[in-house]
Amino acid sequence: MPAMPVHRKYAQMLGLDSKMCSMIDSYIDRVKRHRFGNFTVGETWSTSELLNVAELFYERFGESGLRVFVLHHTLDAICRLLHSGRASRERVLVEVSARLDELARGLSGGERELCKLLTEIATEVRGLLEREGEELLEDIAPGAVL
């Protein structure tokens, strides 16, 4: 998993408060032990699983909490893929971006407020990968110091 400063750095790029970010990041990693990671592990995202968990985060931490949540799982997915050696650096970004696209598409048109919000966030995080992908790979690469 990426180090906490990596999570915080990219959360700040999305304009998220770093205190809120630290709190939620450690909550996801420590308390929940990534029980909620299962929609980013493996080959597919389970949208229904994501919605259930996202709802809990939304209720508890609000909209910015949801942003931290999606970003956290995205960074973890990049990290996992990068360290697996299964995909080249370029491939890692392509695959994770494709998952975010898939997520945004799968949720768009959903009536629920949560769907709309998640679609927006997935698109936003995808934009971040497009702009900062290279730097992100550097920060997450094995042996990176941040």
Task: Copy the structure tokens of residue 32.
Answer: 């929940």
- List the Cα angle 79/84/85 in 5-degree steps: 110
Q: CB of 7: closest distance to Zn ion in angstroms?
A: 8
Binding residues for Zn ion, how many (CB under 5 A)? 3
Q: CB of 9: closest distance to Zn ion in angstroms?
A: 15
**Beta-carbon contacts of residue 23 (< 8 Å; ≥ 6 apart):** none
Q: Does 139 bind Zn ion (CB under 5 A)?
A: no
The nearer residue to Zn ion, 103 or 140, going by C-beta atoms, is: 140
Q: CB of 23: closest distance to Zn ion in angstroms?
A: 14
Q: CB of 18: closest distance to Zn ion in angstroms?
A: 16
Other C-beta atoms within 10 Å of 54: how many?
A: 24
Burial of 59 (0-12, 13-18, 19+ CB in 10 A): exposed
In angstroms, the CA 82 to CA 47 distance is 23
| Segment interacting with Zn ion, rule: CB under 5 A, options 29-37, 52-60, 61-69, 94-102 | 29-37
Q: Does 23 bind Zn ion (CB under 5 A)?
A: no
The count of residues in the chain is: 146
Q: Does 29 bind Zn ion (CB under 5 A)?
A: yes
Q: Which of residues 58-117 bind Zn ion (CB under 5 A)?
A: 76
Provide the binding-site residues for Zn ion, judged by CB under 5 A: 1, 29, 76
